[in-house]
Amino acid sequence: MQRILLISLVLLTAMAGCKNKEAAPQEQVEAAAVQKPEGPRASGLDREREEEFKSDGKTYFVHIVCEADSTGPAVKDETGEYFEQKARLTVTRDGEQIVDRTFTKADFSKYLTDEEAARFVIQGMLLNPAKASNGRTLNLAAQLCSPSDEEDCRPFSLTYNMGDGTFSVKQEALRITDPEGEAAEDEGV
C-alpha cells in the first residue's frame, strides 16, 4: 500500500511540474534556430587537385590543396566570418619532390582593393589549361572569391619558376559565359 501511495505521489509531482511550465514563445524558438555561429568558420571551399604533365622526357606530378587557414585573420562578408584559405603546391619530378610552396592571399594583395582583401579568400588553384607548363616553369591559374558568393571573384594567372622558386602574378579579365556557352570578356576589369 505504501508503495502505491509513493508511486502516486511521484506521478502527481511530475504532472504538476509539467503544468507550470509555459511553452517558449515562437519568437525565441525562431531566434535560436537562426543564430549565427560564434567566431570564424571554414568556408567550404576546400579543394584538392592532382595533375600530371610530361616535359623533356620527365613526368611531373602537381598536387594542390586549398584549405582553411585558422592561423590568419578572418574575413567577413554578409553571411558571416570565415577563416582564410591557403593553397599548398607540391611538385614531384620522376618521384622526387622539387617544389613545396604555400600561397596565401598576401601573394595577391597588390591586385586587390582593400574591400576585396577584407572579404576574399583563395577559392582554388590549378595548372592553367590555356598555357603549357614545362620542366622550368609552371603556369597556374588561381581565383580569389568571397566565401559565400563564388561569382564575386578575381581570376589570376601565375608563372612559377621551379628553378629558383620565384613567381609572377597577373590579374586576368573576368570571363563570363553567355547562354550559348561562349565566353566573353568583362570589359569592366
Q: Report the alpha-carbon distance of residue 4 to residue 36 in Å, rounded.
A: 50
Distance CA 1, CA 102 (A): 77
Confidence at residue 27, expressed as pLDDT on a 0 to 100 scale: 52
β-pair type (84-93, 75-77): unpaired
Domains and CATH numbers, the chain: 47-185 (2.40.128.510)
Per DSSP, helices labelled H in 72-113 are none
Query: Which helix or strand (DSSP H or E) is residue 158 part of?
Result: strand 149-161
Using CA atoms, how far apart are residues 118 and 16, in angstroms rounded to an integer?
A: 55
pLDDT of residue 147: 84
Give, for all 189 residues of the chain, the pLDDT tens digit.
Answer: 444 433 443 333 444 444 444 444 555 545 444 445 565 556 656 689 999 999 999 999 999 999 988 887 888 877 888 888 999 999 999 999 999 999 999 999 999 999 999 889 998 999 998 888 888 999 999 999 888 887 888 999 999 998 898 999 999 886 544 445 444 444 333
Joined grid coordinates for residue 181: 556557352
Q: What is the pLDDT of residue 59?
A: 94
Question: What pLDDT does residue 184 have?
Answer: 43
Instruction: Read off the DSSP letter of residue 70.
Output: T
- In angstroms, the CA 160 to CA 57 distance is 20
Residue 67 grid cell = 584549405
Q: Where are the alpha helices (DSSP H) in the chain?
A: 2-20, 26-33, 114-119
**Look-up of cell digits 509531482:** 13
What is the predicted pLDDT for the residue at 76? Answer: 83
Whole-structure pTM value: 0.68
